[in-house]
Structures are given as C-alpha cells and as structure tokens.
Amino acid sequence: MIHQNKRHVRAVQDLLDFLPSSAIKSVVVFTGEAEFRTEIPQGVFYLSGLVDYLRGQTGEVMSLNQLQFCVGRLETARFAISGQTDIEHIRDLKRRHGGAA
C-alpha cells in the first residue's frame, strides 16, 4: 500500500510538474483494526493522528487559482469513474503483485 502510494504521488508530481515537489504530500492513513508491524514511516498515520497532522499544515502552498488549475488538470487526466475501472485496477494490481490485491 505504501509503495503504491509512492507511485501515485510520483504520478501526481509528474502531472503537476509546475509545482515544487514539496507541494505534494504523501499521506497514508490506517483505520479500524489495522496494525503497522514495523516502525511507522513518515507520512503514515492512524486515523487518530490525522487531525493533528492536518492542523500542523499551516503554510500556504499555492494560490486559489493554482489550486483550481491543479484540480482541472487532475480531472482531465483521471480515468473515468466506473465499476469497470475498479475491476481493471484490481486486475493490474494482481498482475504486478500476484495473489490477492
């Protein structure tokens, strides 16, 4: 999951290449009974720690115009939201990682 998130962050950074890489934050949140079995890496939180993390993010990263431009670029580049894209994504994960995704 964390490696997949890193690939997603790289894809967003490539798409929004006009922003400094520090403008895009990687965050993975564990919920419910999930348990991390090793030392928790930077950017990984349990749900209970997410609010404190978000409150600590006080610096302005971009203007409202830049944010709207980013949203537009992301919406243009994303796959259509459908059950079929979910099936294809799961199939791709199984192909690349084997077994259950």
Secondary structure of the chain in the HEC alphabet?
CHHHHHHHHHHHHHHCCCCCHHHCCCCEEECCCCCCCCCCCCCEEEHHHHHHHHHCCCCCCCCHHHHHHHHHHHHHHCCCCCHHHHHHHHHHHHHHHCCCC
Domain residue ranges of the chain, discontinuous segments joined by +: 1-59, 62-101
Confidence label for 41 from pLDDT (cuts 50, 70 and 90): confident
pLDDT digits (tens, 9 = 90+) for 56-98: 988 888 899 999 999 999 988 877 666 767 777 778 777 876 7
